[in-house]
Amino acid sequence: MDGRGEVFPSPLNWSAALGKLANVHVTTLLAGKVRGNHLHRLSRELLIIKHSDDCQFHWALPGAPPTSRSFSGVGVAIIEIEPEIPHAVLNNGKKDLTIVSLMESGYDPEQPDVVRVVLVPGTD
């Protein structure tokens, strides 16, 4: 940190995780809300979560029970998500957080890549 603020470097191989970048979107997540509760059938995704309070990332690997990782305070979580992995971000803090999503396939409303899978119930 310097007088301008925090710096959160990305992993050296972040671009290799995506191959060809085709879709970028930035969202906010209000306190007590969730984004995700889905999987992508074909596309890998890289999530960059900028938090300044508590939040959780939830996911489920094939054949395993759902699990989660908690983050607190000021920071950035960078998470690589493979196709067919259900995932969700829960803002269980009191401050908004920002999510940047980088995906290797574009959005096509005629052939959506998203399948709803509820990992964090009662928060949508």
What domain range includes position 33?
18-106
Q: 110 by DSSP, 3-state: which?
A: coil
Residue 3 lies in a domain: no
Residue 23 is assigned to a structural domain of this protein = yes
pLDDT at 17: 59
Q: Could you give the number of structural domains in the chain?
A: 1
In-domain check, residue 5: no
Residue 124 covered by a domain: no
Q: For residues 78 and 10, is the Cβ–Cβ distance under 8 A?
A: yes
Report the CATH number that the domain containing residue 64 is assigned in CATH.
Answer: 2.60.120.10
Report the distance separating Cα 91 and Cα 97, nearest Å: 7
Q: What is the pLDDT of residues 7-34, one digit of tens each?
A: 776 665 666 656 677 788 999 999 999 9
Q: Could you read off the pLDDT of 36-58 as tens digits, one per residue?
A: 999 999 988 999 999 999 999 99
